[in-house]
């Protein structure tokens, strides 16, 4: 059975001093984790965090990657650049990018493709808003978001990670119930299986107010292969506790 993956998403938090304290605290308490662990950090801190994580059990992740390869795209960061800093994962299509930066399904699919081409595993985020859930459109929305990535990436799809993050559960303290989360994960699993014979190796993470208290129950669901953790990844004891519950 594949090991679970717990990925922290620092979002726009951190400082040189705070990052060092956080990572030293994590590495002190981590021991040999029973799961894979990654930290998706702001781009300006990739070099610092890469050095701090050297020879550790924690992988480095970015929070975004350009859909372009190279050239006149001011402010963008390419997959090849990320790779130079030891980046293994890149979030793509996080709901905050879709919402505040108007990233479409097509852009998200292109970003996933660029990441894969650069040897980086995209963590493709999908999820419905509260209005979409209340309108009974959850499955339709997540399937549409994932379909765009499958369509663009073809047989490489078994190399991605998927993160189901109901938008209404992100940073709100509201978590999807384990039944709600498992149900959507099963839908995504079936969609991946229809696209790739190797779909079983794909991690499908749950994200949205995952914390030390609810992680074990969520991670015990058959189709929940890990977590994408925002707020709780900034607190050493909470993040270590989530990692410990990912067996
Ligand atoms: P949260 O964020 O854990 O703070 O809800 C998760 C995410 O947005 O990745």
Q: Which tens digit of pLDDT belongs to each residue from 15-63?
A: 999 999 999 999 999 999 999 999 999 999 999 999 999 999 999 999 9
pLDDT of residue 173: 84
pLDDT of residue 171: 87
**Residue-wise pLDDT tens digits, 137-183:** 999 999 999 999 999 998 899 999 999 999 999 988 888 899 999 99
Residue nearest (by alpha carbon) to ligand 1 atom 9? 230
Ligand 1 pocket test, candidate residues 8, 92, 176, 207, most atoms within 8 A of CB = 207
For the segment 114-118, the average pLDDT, to the nearest whole number, is 96
pLDDT of residue 126: 98
Residues with CB under 6 Å of ligand 1 are 9, 165, 170-171, 207-210, 228-232
Domains within the chain, CATH numbers bracketed = 5-245 (3.20.20.70)
Residue nearest (by alpha carbon) to ligand 1 atom 1? 230
Q: How far is the CA of 208 from the centre of ligand 1 (A)?
A: 5
Ligand 1 pocket test, candidate residues 5, 7, 11, most atoms within 8 A of CB = 11
| Residue 5 neighbours by CB under 8 Å, 6+ apart | 35, 36, 37, 38, 161, 203, 205, 225, 226, 227, 246
Q: How far is the CA of 240 from the centre of ligand 1 (A)?
A: 16
| Residue 22 neighbours by CB under 8 Å, 6+ apart | 14, 234, 236
Ligand 1 pocket test, candidate residues 124, 209, 235, most atoms within 8 A of CB = 209
- If you average pLDDT over every residue of the chain, what do you get? 97
Token readout for 62 is 């970015």
Longest alpha-carbon distance in the chain: 48
Q: How far is the CA of 206 from the centre of ligand 1 (A)?
A: 10
What does each C-alpha distance from 142 to 95, 147, 166, 196 come to in angstroms?
Answer: 12, 8, 9, 18
Percent of the chain with pLDDT over 70: 100
Q: How far is the CA of 71 from the centre of ligand 1 (A)?
A: 32
Per the CB < 8 A criterion, the answer to whether 131 and 59 are in contact is no
pLDDT of residue 189: 97
Cα(17)–Cα(58) distance, integer angstroms? 19
pLDDT over 90 (residue 1): no
Q: What is the pTM of this model?
A: 0.97
Catalogue the active-site residues: 94, 165
The Cβ of residue 4 has, within 10 Å, a number of other Cβ atoms equal to 21
pLDDT of residue 154: 87
pLDDT of residue 56: 97
pLDDT of residue 53: 98
Q: How far is the CA of 211 from the centre of ligand 1 (A)?
A: 10
């Amino acid at each position: 059975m594949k090991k679970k993956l717990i990925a922290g998403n620092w979002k726009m938090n951190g400082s040189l001093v705070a990052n060092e304290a956080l990572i030293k605290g994590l590495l002190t308490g981590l021991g040999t984790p029973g799961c894979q662990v990654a930290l998706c950090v702001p781009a300006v801190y990739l070099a610092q965090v890469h050095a701090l994580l050297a020879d550790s059990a924690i992988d480095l992740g970015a929070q975004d990657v350009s859909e372009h390869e190279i050239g006149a795209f001011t402010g963008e960061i390419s997959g090849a650049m990320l790779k130079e800093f030891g980046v293994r994962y890149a979030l793509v299509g996080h709901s905050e990018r879709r919402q505040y930066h108007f990233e479409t399904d097509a852009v998200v699919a292109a970003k996933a493709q660029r990441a894969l081409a650069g040897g980086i595993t995209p963590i493709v985020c999908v999820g419905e808003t509260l209005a979409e859930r209340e309108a009974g459109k959850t499955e339709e929305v997540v399937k549409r978001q994932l379909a765009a990535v499958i369509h663009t990436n073809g047989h490489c799809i078994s190399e991605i990670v998927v993160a189901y993050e109901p938008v209404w559960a992100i940073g709100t303290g509201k978590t999807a119930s384990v039944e709600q989360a498992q149900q959507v994960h099963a839908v995504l699993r079936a969609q991946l299986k229809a696209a790739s014979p190797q779909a079983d190796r794909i991690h499908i993470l749950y994200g949205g107010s995952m914390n030390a208290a609810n992680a074990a129950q969520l991670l015990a669901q058959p189709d929940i292969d890990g977590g994408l953790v925002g707020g709780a990844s900034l607190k050493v004891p909470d993040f270590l506790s989530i990692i410990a519950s990912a067996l």
